[in-house]
């Protein structure tokens, strides 16, 4: 339930350098908790995807295995994933293409209004400048498109850190890279500042109350 390591490359250069892995999440064997977290993410994302007819989907920090894009591939027209590296299996899917490397650079290469759905699943908590990333997501969405976010909340902080640092149940370096956790009162105004209207934002607790799941539609 931690986050995508590929997302770390969105950290802004003006901040002090940070030691970070450039390896995509999932390239090494995932722990049981990591696998459960990935599985729990798919169902609410799939509901959003099925509300569109043949959407074009962008998954920022898709992970080495691109499990979300592969899970929803039958319900989309096309999918683009961004991460440091992606498996041969994922890249062999005919509906999917992948941009490997630093996420900030790859996002800059994409034209505005290119996608119906933009996914940032366990990404935002790794960023020093989350508002910049959310504004870019808003630009990349077409009118009527949806930004889908999953972030750990403050209730999940103790569980994730105990799981990673004491019990070894989840990937420790991913949790150690978290810049913050979010409450509804913190995440909601950030989404609004990125350009989304309050009436178009839905938010709920997720993953046994340890995460927030938000969908923001571009008006």
123-163 pLDDT, tens digit per residue, is 999 999 999 999 999 999 999 999 999 999 998 888 888 88
Predicted confidence at residue 36, as pLDDT, reads 64
Up-side HSE of residue 198: CA atoms within 13 Å toward CB? 3
What SS3 state is found at 198?
Answer: helix
Q: Determine the topology of domain 5-217 in CATH.
A: Rossmann fold (3.40.50)
Instruction: Work out whether strand 96-100 and strand 115-121 pair parallel, antiparallel, or are unpaired.
Output: unpaired
Question: Model confidence over 10-49: pLDDT tens digits?
Answer: 443 333 322 333 455 545 566 655 666 666 789 999 999 9
Q: How far apart are CA 1 and CA 37, in angstroms?
A: 5
Predicted confidence at residue 4, as pLDDT, reads 47
Query: What burial class does residue 103 get, using C-beta atoms within 10 Å of its C-beta: 0-12 exposed, 13-18 middle, 19+ buried?
Result: buried
Q: Are 138 and 190 in contact (CB under 8 A)?
A: no
Q: Are 177 and 39 in contact (CB under 8 A)?
A: no
């Amino acid at each position: 339930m931690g986050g995508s390591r590929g997302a770390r490359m969105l950290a802004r250069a003006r901040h002090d350098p940070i030691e970070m892995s450039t390896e995509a999440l999932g390239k090494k064997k995932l722990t049981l908790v990591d696998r459960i977290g990935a599985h729990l993410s798919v169902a609410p994302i799939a509901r959003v995807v099925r509300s569109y007819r043949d959407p074009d989907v962008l998954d920022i920090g898709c992970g080495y295995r691109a499990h979300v894009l592969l899970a929803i591939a039958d319900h989309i027209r096309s999918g683009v994933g961004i991460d440091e590296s992606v498996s041969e299996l994922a890249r062999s899917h005919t509906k999917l293409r992948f941009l490997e490397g630093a996420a900030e650079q790859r996002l800059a290469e994409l034209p505005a209004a290119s996608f119906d759905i933009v996914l940032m699943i366990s990404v935002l908590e790794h960023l020093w400048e989350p508002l910049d990333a959310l504004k870019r997501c808003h630009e990349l969405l077409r009118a009527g498109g949806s930004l889908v976010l999953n972030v750990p909340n403050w209730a999940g902080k103790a569980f994730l850190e105990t799981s990673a640092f004491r019990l070894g149940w989840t990937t420790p370096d991913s949790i150690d890279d978290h810049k913050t956790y979010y409450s509804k009162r913190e995440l909601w105004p950030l989404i609004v500042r990125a350009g989304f209207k309050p009436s178009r934002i839905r938010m709920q607790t997720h993953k046994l109350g340890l995460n927030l799941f938000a969908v923001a539609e571009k008006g």
